[in-house]
Amino acid sequence: MEFNGCFSSCNRLQDDNDLKFLLKGSLLLKVKSSSWRKERFYKLQEDCKTIWQESRKMLRSPESQLFSIEDIRDVRPGHKTEGMEKYAQDVPENRCFSIIFKDQRKNLDLIASSESDANHWTAGLKKIITHSSSMNQKQKLQHWIHTCLRKADKNKDNKMSFKELKNFMKEVNIQVDDSYAKEIFQQCDKSNTEALEDDEIESFYKILTERKEIDRIFSKYTSEKEPMSCDRLVQFLQEEQQKEDAGPETALSLIERYEPSEAAKKQMTMTKDGFLMYLLSSDGDIFNSSHGKVYQDMTHPLNHYLVSSSHNTYLMEDQLRGPSSTEAYIRALTKGCRCVELDCWDGPNSEPIIYHGYTFTSKILFSDVIKAIKNYAFKTSPYPVIISLENHCSLEQQKKMAEHMKDILQDMLVMAPVDGNISNFPSPEQLKGKILVKGKKLNRLEDTAGANGNNNHVEAEYVSDEDEAAEIEDEVVKKEIEQTEKSDKLTLAKELSDTVIYCRSVHFTGFEESRQSQAFYEMSSFVESKGLRLAQESGTDFIHHNVKYLSRIYPAGWRTDSSNYNPVDFWNVGCQIVALNFQTPGNEMDLYQGRFQDNGFSGYILKPEFLRDVDTTFNPKSIVEGTWWTQKKLVVKIISGQQLPKVNKGKNSIVDPRVTVEIYGVQQDSDKKQTRVIENNGFNPTWDEEFEFNIDVPALALVRFMVEDFDVSTKNDFIGQYTLPFTSLQQGYRHIHLLNRNGDPHPSATLFVHIRIQDNY
C-alpha cells in the first residue's frame, strides 16, 4: 500500500547487503544464562522499523513477538554486557552481539552462526538506527501513517475498504462517526470502486494530515496560494518568532535547509510544506538549539556548577531485592550523569563487590564497574566524573579497590592537585577527561601535595557518610543490621585515602563550624529531609555554604521503591550534587532531564551569579529585590497536538488528551494550569487555550508541559511530557517534541504552541 511521498526507511538502503540480510532473517542463539541458550529466528520486517522474533511461549500474541528499532539504545558487538561476559566466554567475540533497549527491558544477548552473520546484524541495525534518527518530523509522520495503513490492510490487497479505513482511524488514535468517515471515503474514491488505492490513498493522506492552524499562520504572510517570499519570512521571524536580528541571510538559510521544492529554492521563497518542515525542525523547536551545545563558561571552580548525579547507581530497580548491574552505570553515564555511587563491600576471592548492603539486591564486581566507568565516562560529555565511594570494606579489600582504580583508570584518575592548586577547586575545563574520587581521607590536601602522609590507616570519625544503607526503613534490613557487629569507626587504607583529592567526605555539624574549620575540598552529604529543613530554615546560610563547598543530597531511607524527591528546592540553594535514582522514571527525573539538557547535555550547569556570590542575600523562601529579581510574564498558548500515542493498546481505545503547563522554581513562582479535555482524539486535537504565568526569578524556573489521557473514574494515564529551563525557551510558534515516561522521544508526538515572554515590572 504505497503512496507518493510515503517514506520508508528501506528506500535509501534498499541495495545495502546488510539490510537485505536482515530482511531475509536468520537463526540466532538467544542467551539468558549458563544453562539457557536456545535457537530463535529473527527477521527485520518490511517496514524496516520492527524486528520479528520467534517465540516458543504458549498463547503469546503476535504483537509481543515484535520490537521496534525506535526502542533500541545501542547495538554492541562482542562480550560487552554482563550476560555475554558471564555466559558466552566459550564463543568467539566476533560471533556475539547484544541489543540494548532504551527502557527497563533486559538486554538481548545473541550469538550468530558465523562472524559474517554477526557483522550483518550489527552493521545493518546501526545503519537503520542512524537513518531513522536522521529522519525529519514529516518523514517520521509519513512513515508512521504508512505503517498504520499497512496494519489496517487486513487482506493485503494494497487497497483500503471503508471498513479498513475505520480501523485505520482507530489505529492512528482518532474516533470519527460513520457519516464523517464515509464523507472522507467518498471524497477520495474517485474511481467509485468502494476501495481506495494509489492516488486516492494519497488524497486521503493529505486530508488526514492537513494542519489548518499552520495554514492560517502561513496565509497571514502570503498572497493566496503563493509561496512566502524571503522578505515576508524575515517579517515572520521578527514579528512572531521574536528573532529581532533575523535578516535575509537567516531566511535564505532556512529556505535552503527546509524547503523541499527546488523551484521555490531558486526563487528564494518558501512553500507551505517548507514552512511546516521549518516549524517541525530544531529551529522551530521550543528549546533554544544554541543551548544544545556547551555555551556556558566552563572555567569557574567546580563548586560553581550543578552536577548531574545518580544515587545507588548500581541498581536497576528497587533498593531491597532488585538487580545490581554494570548496565545501570552505562545508562546513567550515557544520560549525562557526572557523579555515580559505588556501595562497596568485601567479596569472595579477595575481590570487593558492589550491592546495597544488608539487602537482597544482587552483587557485581567492583573491578567490572570501574571498567564500565572507564569505557563510558566520556561518551556523552567530556567533563569530569565523580566516583562517590561508600566504603564498607576491610583494609585488604580497600587496597584492592585502590589498585583497581589506578590500574584500570590510569591517567584518567586524579591523584594530585591540578597544577599544584591547593587553595581552590579546578574548573570542569581543567578536569576534562578526568575522574575524581569522593570518600574518606586520612590527611589534608596540603599533605597529599607535599607527599608527607605516611600513616597506613586511621579510624574515621563518623559513619554517617559511609553507611547510608543502614538508614533504610525496612524491618528485614534493621534486623540484619542488629545482627551485624557494627562499629561506628572505619579503618581506612592509605592507598584508598590517596585516591581522594578534591572530594573528602566529612560530617556536617553546622554552618558556623564549617565557616570556621572546613577546608574547601571537604564536603558533606545530607539526607533529603535534613537538606530540605536547612533549605527552608536557613536558605541564605546554605547558599553561602555552597558558594565555598560542595554539598550532596541523597534520598531518604524510606524510599525502598527507589522513588525520588523534588530536586528543585536543593538547586535553589546552590546544592551541586543532588543525587536521584536514575532508574526510576517520573516527574522528578523529568525535571532532572529538563534541567540538564541545557549547556549541551554536558552534566554541568553554571549556577546563576547570585548563587555564586559570597555576599549574596538571596533566599528562595523570601524573595526581595536583588539581581535575581527580573520579573517576567510568560504567555503560553496551547494550540494543538499531533499523533499522541495510544496509552491503552486496546483496539477501541482512543485517548482523551488534556495538557498541563507547570512552573517549577522558587515557591512563589510555582504554578500549574490545565486545558480542557478533548474527547476521542489523540491524532490532531485542538485546544487554542492561552495561559499567563508571572515569574519573579526566571534564572531558577523550569517549565513542564505534560499530556495525560483523562479518565473520569480512574487515575489519568501519562502520555508524554517535555521540560526545559525558562531561560532556554524560544518565543513564537513552536513545536514541543514529547518524551515518554523513560525520557526518550516519542517518534512523532508533538504539541504546537505559541510562546510570548514580556517584562513584568
Average pLDDT over the chain, rounded to whole?
Answer: 88
C-beta pairs of 516-519 under 8 Å, 24+ apart in sequence:
518/549, 519/444, 519/445
Q: Is 630 labeled as ligand-binding?
A: no
Q: What is the pLDDT of residues 141-161, one digit of tens each?
A: 677 677 777 777 777 777 888
Burial annotation 578-591 (CB, 10 A radius, 16+ → b, else e): bbbbbbbbebbbbb
CATH architecture of 302-611: Alpha-Beta Barrel (3.20)
Q: Look up residue 736 and give its three cell numbers.
A: 514541543
Q: What is the pLDDT of residues 616-639, one digit of tens each?
A: 999 999 888 888 988 999 999 999
CA distance 276 to 270: 10
Q: What residues contact 410, with CB distance under 8 A and at least 6 apart?
A: none
Q: Look up residue 150 and give its three cell numbers.
A: 499497512
State the DSSP string of 357-396: TTS----EEHHHHHHHHHHHTTSS--S-EEEEEEE---HH
Closest listed residue to residue 700, CA positions, set 718, 683, 675, 725: 725
CATH architecture of 632-759: Sandwich (2.60)
> Cβ(753)–Cβ(691) under 8 Å?
no
> Cβ(388)–Cβ(552) under 8 Å?
yes
Q: Is 8 labeled as ligand-binding?
A: no
> Please, what CATH class does the domain formed by 11-133 belong to?
mainly beta
> Cβ(266)–Cβ(250) under 8 Å?
no
Q: What is the pLDDT of residues 397-412, one digit of tens each?
A: 999 999 999 999 999 9
Question: pTM of the predicted model, to two decimals?
Answer: 0.86
Where does residue 471 rank: exposed (0-12), middle (13-18), buried (19+ CB within 10 A)?
Answer: middle
Q: Is 756 labeled as ligand-binding?
A: no
Give the up-direction half-sphere exposure of residue 154: CA atoms within 13 A in the CB hemisphere.
Answer: 9
Q: Is 61 labeled as ligand-binding?
A: no
Closest listed residue to residue 313, CA positions, set 379, 353, 393, 369: 369
Q: Is 525 labeled as ligand-binding?
A: yes
212-284 and 632-759 share one CATH topology?
no
Residue 2 confidence (pLDDT) above 70:
no
- Quote the percentage of the chain above a pLDDT of 70: 88
Q: What is the pLDDT of residues 444-475, one digit of tens each?
A: 888 766 554 444 445 443 333 455 555 555 55
Phi, psi of 511 (to 5 degrees): -65, -40
Residue 167 confidence (pLDDT) above 60:
yes
Q: Please give the DSSP secondary-structure letter assigned to residue 541.
A: H
Q: Is 528 labeled as ligand-binding?
A: no
Q: What is the pLDDT of residues 233-250, one digit of tens each?
A: 999 999 999 998 999 999
Q: Look up residue 162 and give its three cell numbers.
A: 471503508
Q: What residues contact 184, with CB distance under 8 A and at least 6 apart?
A: 165, 176, 204, 207
Sketch the domain layout of the chain as residue ranges.
Answer: 11-133, 153-208, 212-284, 302-611, 632-759
Q: Where are the alpha helices (DSSP H) in 196-296?
A: 199-208, 212-220, 230-239, 248-258, 262-266, 272-280
CATH architecture of 212-284: Orthogonal Bundle (1.10)
Q: Is 462 labeled as ligand-binding?
A: no
Consecutive H or E run containing 309: strand 305-310
Residues serving a catalytic function are: 311, 356
> Please, what CATH class does the domain formed by 153-208 belong to?
mainly alpha
